[in-house]
Structure 1
Amino acid sequence: MLRSMYSGISGMKNFQTKLDVIGNNIANVNTYGYKKGRVTFQDLMNQTVSGASRATDNRGGQNAKQVGLGSSLSSIDTIQTQGSLQTTGRSLDVAISGDGYFVVRQGNNEMYTRAGNFYLDSNGNLVTGQGNLVQGYPVDAAGVVNKSGTADIKIDTNTTMAPQATSVATYNGNLKSSAPNNTQVELETKVKDSLGQDISLKIVMEKTGLNQWEATVSSLTPGVTVNETTTISFDNAGKVQSPASGYVPFAITINNSTGANPTQDIDLDFSKITQFDSSSSANVDTVDGNSEGYLESFNIGSSGEVNGVFSNGEVRVLSQLSLATFSNPGGLTKAGNNLFQASNNSGLPNQGVAGEGRGALQSGSLEMSNVDLSEEFTEMITAQRGFQANTRIITTSDEILQELVNLKR
């Protein structure tokens, strides 16, 4: 009888713990990035009344006789299933679709979170709602992401982009193969000098023979001198054959009164132009170089790149968010404030960018809690009935003890 009372007590304690976990899940049903908990039980030790015996020639074997002594907690799991994504339209809200955690710095400690509601502080640092610094990969002057180590993401709203002279202009489209000789196709290209000023170049492509076109480059901008001619040859498949690389280098001379560099080398890339028997459609594809620009806005792409949009129309990568994955994400320890920290059983963080074995990012959205209220209420009912059943064990054992006491009157 005493054993049954203590078994009932252990069951009550366990179901109380389960109700505590369920209550915490329900309390966080609208917490961004929250991962619900789950309680599992296991039986406690068993008291062996008699051991098992094996069969003999004259008698069969007998199983052991054991009396269980209650139950105990087996685990309190963190369920890492994906929460639904809610569209917010806010540029600094980012949701992870798939595996991975945002990396943040709390003092000297590295923490992890699925809640992507970020903010900018007075210094331009990207932070969480509690002021933890979001970590990412820095970008050099050429726009190349350096993945050797993470750093605080800082977005300086006073960032400017220096002017850059054009070095390459690329063309695509088609030149009609059956066009008669002396047929001309004119293209106008705007390039930038070292001060970011526009220079208009005129390219006249004239058919001079079978599979041959002559390209003449001249300037439409006063003070700029250029007079270059080159021949472009095509093979029988309609691809550029000469020059072999498709690049045509030439130099322009700029009047020094403009203040820009007096000479500038530009490569014209005709490798994408074809010569098929269809209408001529040659045009400008891309031209590098830019004028001076000021940061107007920024956004976060699906790979975590923080893109700055400048007043000159250019878009540059300012930084890239870092994501971490773990061999055992269920082993992460909840640290409060939507944060997780690594434990002895989670494994070391494997940091990188989104899309490289990690989930994709969706800007303007947040991941909701993965708590299912219908499931939680069902679990609450079963936990409540289990708790009641264990209390009934205790009261029943108490009544039997009372009967024993009453034997002596």
Structure 2
Amino acid sequence: MLQSFYTGNTGLGANRDWLSVISDNIANVNTNGYKQEVVNFNDLVSSSLTTFSAGGAPKNREIGGGSFVGSTTKDFSQGAFKNTNQPLSLALDGEGFFIVRSPSANDLQYYTRDGNFRIDANGDIINQSGYKLQGWKLDENGNMIGDLEDVNIPSSLAPHMTSKVSFEEPTNLDSSVPVISIPFDQNNTSTYNYINTMPAYDSLGNSHTLSYYYRHTDETARRWEVVVLLDGEVPTGTQNNTLTLEFDDQGRITSASDGTNTATYTYDAQGNQSKSGNDPQPSFPLTNGAASPLSLTMSFDNVSEVASDFIFYSQQDGYGKGDLMNISVSEDGVLKGSYTNGQVKDVAKLGVATFKDKEILIRKGDNLYLPNQKTFTPIIVPGGVISKVRSGMLEMSNVDISKEFINLITAQRAYQANAKTITTGDQIIQTTMDIKR
């Protein structure tokens, strides 16, 4: 009979633990990225005896010893999103965890669903506890380089010297304009058909003006001369600044030459372009302390010559110094910095980790998880592979408050019922003792 006391006591302990888990879930209803815990009860067996009847049929006599909380399971279902309008508020739409590195000496990597990040004074992306977000650096072409490391957004961009100029569609030289045969004179507008300008930058970030004077020199050969000036003049020592362009009878470019370098173009039956040789490379000496000369590779691949209006559209790869204005994050985890010099630079790509058995990750507080010794090494992939990154959003707790209230009532009643079994057992013992009276 005394066994009922201990059986009831295990029920009290098990439901007390359940109440603790429920309380923890409710307490974290507003915790970003929190995943609720679910209690798993196991039964205890006090005695188990199997006997056999005269006919050989087995009979079991089993008396339970109560219950206990055998384990808890994390519910990793997706939480709802809330809008913050902050670009470094990030949420994972799908599987996985953000990877953050401890700022302390242990240098451990932790995993979290809480994407409440900000940029610190050093340009590192950190969470609210100072843990540094992990990702890969990107090169100029947007390719990931090196190992996973702290994501850092440069607060400024150093100047980049212009090295390449390209003329893009719909750049067109009007084939119907008059042919000019007199020598070029920049001060005489009758010596050229068109003029246009564009900026170029030296190694110190100083802006210079490139002026292009277009002269239609041969209608039959469909030839044009292009004179390139730097800041309105031809500095002493300038090389290859007079270019020659030729086109075929369909207005497609066939050659671009500066007298030293010549790019030649051919076309197949489908009109696909092939190119050989070297693009024109004019160069201009500089005397302002910047690296000299300003040497430019000029691509005319997409220039046409048809009877239509003159259109000038060009791009160059240089820029002056720029300071960080804002940050954006794409759904594939690419962090972009926008700078005051007009540049938008792909800086880094976020890493996302997942586990084969995420249920046994260990909670470490601060919305962080660590793998234990039985957890396989995480699978780390770039953002956008197993989940999309939502910028300006935070994942909310996935605690179902109404369900937890129902669990709270159930746990309370179960606790009371187990307490009642103890008091009932006490009453039975008292009744037994009263037999003697």
TM-score calculated relative to the size of structure 1: 0.81
Could you tell me which residue of structure 1 aligns to residue 380 of structure 2?
Answer: 351
Given that 1:205 and 1:213 are in contact with CA atoms closer than 8 Å, whether structure 2 keeps it comes out as no
Alignment match of 1:401 (pick from 426, 429, 435)? 429
Q: Which residue pairs with 1:374 in the alignment?
A: 402
| SS of residue in 1 equivalent to 2:14 | helix
Pick one of 241, 259, 266 that aligns with 2:297.
266
**Which residue does 1:161 correspond to in 2?**
158
CA spacing shift, 1:181–1:133, aligned 2, 3 Å? closer
Go from structure 1 to structure 2 and tell me whether the alpha carbon gap of 1:319 and 1:9 turns closer, same or farther (over 3 Å shift): same
- Structure-to-structure mapping, 1:92-111, within 5 angstroms: 92-106=88-102, 107=104, 108=106, 109-111=108-110
- In the alignment, the residues of structure 1 paired with residue 70 and residue 314 of structure 2 have an alpha-carbon distance, to the nearest angstrom, of 64
Instruction: Give secondary structure in 2 for the equivalent of 1:15.
Output: helix
Gaps of 5+ in 2: 180-192, 253-266
Closer, same or farther: CA 76–342 of 1 in aligned 2, 3 Å: same
Match of 2:168 in 1: 171
- What SS does the corresponding residue of 1:45 show, helix, strand or coil? strand
Spell out, residue by residue over 1:347-394, the C-alpha distance to the aligned partner (whole angstroms, 9 max, x if none).
Answer: 21223421233x222222211111110111111122222222222222
Matched, 1:222 2:232: yes
Distance 1:285 1:101, change over 3 A: farther
Specify which of 311, 322, 328 is matched with residue 293 of structure 1.
Answer: 322
Equivalent pair of 1:247/1:267 in contact (CA under 8 Å): no
Give the deviation of 1:127 after TM superposition. 2.4
Deviates more, 1:183-192 or 1:329-338: 183-192
Give 1:310's aligned amino acid.
Y
Secondary structure of residue in 2 paired with 1:134: strand
Q: Distance in 1 between matches of 2:167 and 2:435?
A: 105
- 1:291 offset after TM fit, Å? 2.6
The TM-score with structure 2 as length reference comes to 0.77
Q: Distance in 2 between matches of 1:96 and 1:338?
A: 14
Partner deviation per Cα, 1:118-170 (whole Å, 9 max, x = no partner): 234444433222222333334568875324242x334453x332132141415
Q: CA 1:145–1:396 in 2, change beyond 3 Å: closer, same or farther? A: same
Match of 1:340 among 363, 369, 374: 369
* Structural mapping, 1:77-156, within 5 Å: 77-106=73-102, 107=104, 108=106, 109-139=108-138, 144-150=143-149, 152-156=150-154
Judge conservation of contact 2:200–2:316 (CA < 8 Å) in 1. Answer: no
Identity over the aligned pairs, expressed in percent? 30
1:67 paired with 2:58, answer no
Query: Following the alignment from structure 2 to structure 1, what is the Cα–Cα distance between the partners of residues 315 and 276?
Result: 15
Distance 2:382 2:224 in 1: 44
Structure 1 unpaired stretches of 5+: none
Query: Once structures 1 and 2 are overlaid, which stretch shifts more, 188-197 or 384-393?
Result: 188-197
2:339 aligns with one of 310, 317, 321: 310
Counterparts of 1:246 and 1:199, CA distance in 2: 29
Matches of 2:19 and 2:322 in 1, distance apart?
A: 58
Instruction: Give the letter for the 2:9 counterpart.
Output: I
Distance 2:395 2:82 in 1: 6
**Alpha carbons 1:296, 1:308 under 8 Å: kept:** yes
Q: Could you say if the C-alpha distance between residues 384 and 199 of structure 1 is closer, same or farther in structure 2, counting changes exceeding 3 Å?
A: same
Output the aligned Cα RMSD. 3.7
2:7 and 2:429 map into 1 onto residues whose CA distance is 16
1:187-209 Cα distance to aligned partner (Å, 9 max, x none): 95625243452434548698x99
Asked if the contact 1:35–1:81 (Cα under 8 Å) also holds between the matched residues in 2, the reply is yes
Cα distance per residue 1:66-115 (max 9 Å; x no partner): 22222222321111111111111123322222222222222222222222
SS in 1 for 2:363: strand
